[in-house]
Amino acid sequence: MAGSAAKVVISERQEKVLRKLSTATTVAKRLVQRAAIILRAFSGMANQDIAQQVGLGRCQVGIWRRRWQDAFAKLIRIECSDDPPALRKAIEDLLSDEPRPGCPGKFTAEQLTQLIALACEPPEKSSRPITHWTAKELAAEAIARGIVDSISPSQVNRYLRAAELQPHKSRYWLNTTEKDPELFQAQVEVVCACYHDAPALYQRHDTHTICVDEMTGIQALERIAPTLPMRPGQTERREFEYQRHGTVTLIGNFHVVTGELIAPTLGPTRTEEDFVAHIDRAVKLDPAARYVFVLDNLNIHCSAGLVELVARRCGVEEDLGVKGKRGS
C-alpha cells in the first residue's frame, strides 16, 4: 500500500519566490520544474497529477515534497531574519541536486600541492620563454618534472580555479619610498580621511575633492583609412596601418564623490606651467566653491607656480619670495 504524500506548507514570501523560479528563464530547468512541483503540491494536487504536468515520475515528485516538508522549519527561520536574498538562495539550494561523490581522484594530495606550487613559480625558473603560465605550459612542465604522468590543460584549469589562482594575470603594485613606518601610517590616515570626508564636504560645504594624476607618453595614432562598419555576416573592420603623431599627455581630475572625470587636459608636455594651467582651468568650473586636491609627490605638484596660483585664489597678497632663493 502506497504511503500518504508529504504535506506541503508554504508562506506568502516563499510562494512569491517559488512563482518567480517557476517562470524564470535564466535559471536551470530543474529548478523551474521543482518549484512548479511545490506550488502544485501546495494547491492540493496529487503526486500522479503533478507528475503528468511536470514530466517526472510519481516517486520523484514525492521525493521533492518530502524534502520541502523536512526543510520547512529551517526556511521559516531564514525568512524571519528578514533577508529576502538569503531566503531565495536557501530555496534554490533546497531544490538543487545534492553533491555527488563522483569517481575517485586521479591525483594524490602531494601531486596537487606540487602542481599548485609550480603555478606559483615564475616560468623563467623552468627555463620557459614566457612571462606568465598558461594551463598548457603548466601541464607540460608538470609532466616534464615527473609530478604527474599525464594531465590535461583543462584539468589544470580546474585545479587553479579551485585554488583561486590566476597565473595568467598580473596587477601593478606600488611600494612606498617612505622608510619610517609611523610616518607612512600617518600619511595614509590623512589621505584616507580626505576620501572619507569628501561626501560630507561636498554636500554640506560646497567643497570638491579632486584626485589628480597624469598619464604621459600616450601614442597619438591615426588610422590611414576609415573604419568600415559591420554588415550582415561581416564584423566591423579597422585599418591595421596607422600614422604616428608623436605622444600626448593626459592630466585627469577624478571627482571623488560624483565619479566624474572633469576638465581633463591633453597636451604634448607635462611641465610646471602645464600643471598650473590645468589646476586653474579646473577651479574655474566652479570658482565660488572650495577645493581639495589629492596629489602625489611629483615636483610639479608642489611648485612655486602652483603656490602662487593658490595664493591668488585665496586672496593672499604678501610677498611669497623667489623660487630657489627664499620663501616659496
Contact 252, 261 (CB under 8 A): yes
The backbone torsions φ and ψ at residue 250, rounded to the nearest 5 degrees and listed phi first, read: -105, 125
255: phi then psi, degrees, rounded to nearest 5: -75, 115
Give the 3-state DSSP-derived string for 134-156, with helices as H, strands as E and coil as C: CHHHHHHHHHHCCCCCCCCHHHH
Q: Are 262 and 171 in contact (CB under 8 A)?
A: no
Q: 181-226+236-327 sits in which CATH class? A: alpha beta
Residue boundaries of the structural domains of the chain: 12-94, 109-162, 181-226+236-327
Three-state DSSP class for residue 128? coil
- Positions of E strands within 224-285: 242-255, 265-267
pLDDT for residue 1: 39
pLDDT tens for 97-132 read: 887 777 777 899 999 999 999 999 999 999 999 999
Which tens digits make up the pLDDT trace of 43-94? 999 999 999 999 899 999 999 999 999 999 999 999 888 788 899 999 999 9
Cell numbers given for 212: 589628480
Model confidence, pTM: 0.53
| 325, three cell numbers | 632663493
Q: What is the pLDDT of residue 328?
A: 65
Beta bridge partners of residue 214, listed in sequence order = 251
Topology of domain 12-94 in CATH is Chromosomal Replication Initiator Protein Dnaa; Chain: A; (1.10.1750)
* Same fold flag, 12-94 and 181-226+236-327: no
Please say if the pLDDT value at position 292 is more than 90. Answer: yes
| Out of 128-132, 174-178, 263-267, 323-327, least confident range | 323-327
DSSP, res 300: G
